[in-house]
Structure 1
Amino acid sequence: MNTVVLIGPPGSGKSTLGRLVAERLGVGFRDTDADVEAVAGKPVSDIFIEDGEDRFRELEHDAVRRALTEHEGVLSLGGGAVLHEATQALLAGHHVVYLQVGLTDAVQRVGLASARPLLVLNPRSQFRKLMEERRPVYERLAVMTVVTDKREPEELAEEIVKGLPA
């Protein structure tokens, strides 16, 4: 089985659905944000604050590269991982699923008071801008798009599994 890669903005359900899809397929689940935190020895929000976004993106790209090489199963990428051109190239040939979520649902899931470094000033406006900037990249990389608004995780996981190549 090739790796199933879940992409999408914060609040789209990548981690939740990743675990459910992996469970249904009987494979492992891996989250590149967790990999970055393990390598850096600190949370993503601290990496942004202490080391800057450029350093975080380097760590993130390395985490994606390693995961795509080492892991067969379901892989969840951080929301901005796809912005790195070399990461985009690495995704070619993988079953990339874009989890599309509307602003209202994403905000409810993420909560704008959480530690999201790119949402510090005027979180709702920043979040909308972030989603609009990234949407074309998500759409271009995806071989499958799943709309997650107002849907239960179990239903979404089933749709993803059914959409996988035989």
Structure 2
Amino acid sequence: MNNIILCGFMGCGKTTVGTLLARRLGMEYADLDAEIEAEAGMAIPAIFAEYGEARFRDLEHEAVRALAGRADCVVSTGGGALTYPRNREALSPRDLVVFLDAPFDACLERIRGSDRPIVRRSSPEELRALFDARRPAYLAAANAVADASAGPEAVAEAVARIRAERGPAL
């Protein structure tokens, strides 16, 4: 198995779980959004403001392709990254892609007050519609699902068990 890729809606715990999981398994950790910001030399809200979502999605795709070339890395994707077929196709078939499935209300509570462009410009109802629209894409992208309604330590342990059950290669 090459990498463990975590996907799911904003606020489902990808960054927190990814950090814990990488530490637990002795793997490298990469946050896709942090990789994009480092490459662009600016924060994601600034990328959206200055260049728009289309440019951000192009940078995101470049980052997914770069991360797909790594091995033994836990990767936290952005909430929209794996809703795009080109990003799903860029991943290795040997990657374990885990959908962190958290209830909408838990995600909403965690992202309230966020500087994320989508959160700032959307009502809770619009975010719920986005959550519902993205869920099938997460399920299509993933080859495993973890219940992310528990605390981050428990979710990291669940993903580690999934990895152990799958063995060294998918």
- Quickly name the TM-score band, shorter chain normalised: over 0.9
Q: Conserved in 2, the CA contact under 8 Å of 1:18 and 1:29?
A: yes
Report deviation, 1:71.
Answer: 4.4
Matches of 1:35 and 1:101 in 2, distance apart? 24
Residue 152 of structure 1: aligned partner: 151
Residue 160 of structure 2: aligned partner: 161
Percent of aligned positions with the same letter in both sequences? 37
Residue ranges of structure 2 left out of the alignment (5+ in a row):
none
Residue ranges of structure 1 left out of the alignment (5+ in a row):
none
Report deviation, 1:9.
Answer: 0.7
Q: Conserved in 2, the CA contact under 8 Å of 1:14 and 1:99?
A: yes
Output one character per residue of 1:65-116: Cα deviation in whole Å (capped at 9) or x when no partner.
00110343201111111122211112351100000111110011111x2112
- Partner amino acid, structure 1, of 2:104: L
Query: Post-superposition, which runs of at least 4 consecutive aligned residues in structure 1 deviate over 2 A?
Result: 119-123
Matches of 2:114 and 2:158 in 1, distance apart? 29
Matches of 1:83 and 1:138 in 2, distance apart? 7
Q: Conserved in 2, the CA contact under 8 Å of 1:10 and 1:79?
A: yes
Output one character per residue of 1:36-91: Cα deviation in whole Å (capped at 9) or x when no partner.
10111111111111110000000000001001103432011111111222111123
User: Any idea what SS the aligned residue of 1:99 has?
Assistant: strand
Aligned length: 164
Q: Conserved in 2, the CA contact under 8 Å of 1:61 and 1:87?
A: yes
Residue 89 of structure 1: aligned partner: 89
TM-score by length of 2: 0.91
Q: Conserved in 1, the CA contact under 8 Å of 2:65 and 2:91?
A: no
User: Any idea what SS the aligned residue of 1:137 has?
Assistant: helix
TM-score by length of 1: 0.93
Matches of 1:97 and 1:83 in 2, distance apart? 14
Superposed CA RMSD in Å reads 1.3
Report deviation, 1:120.
Answer: 3.0
Matches of 2:130 and 2:91 in 1, distance apart? 21
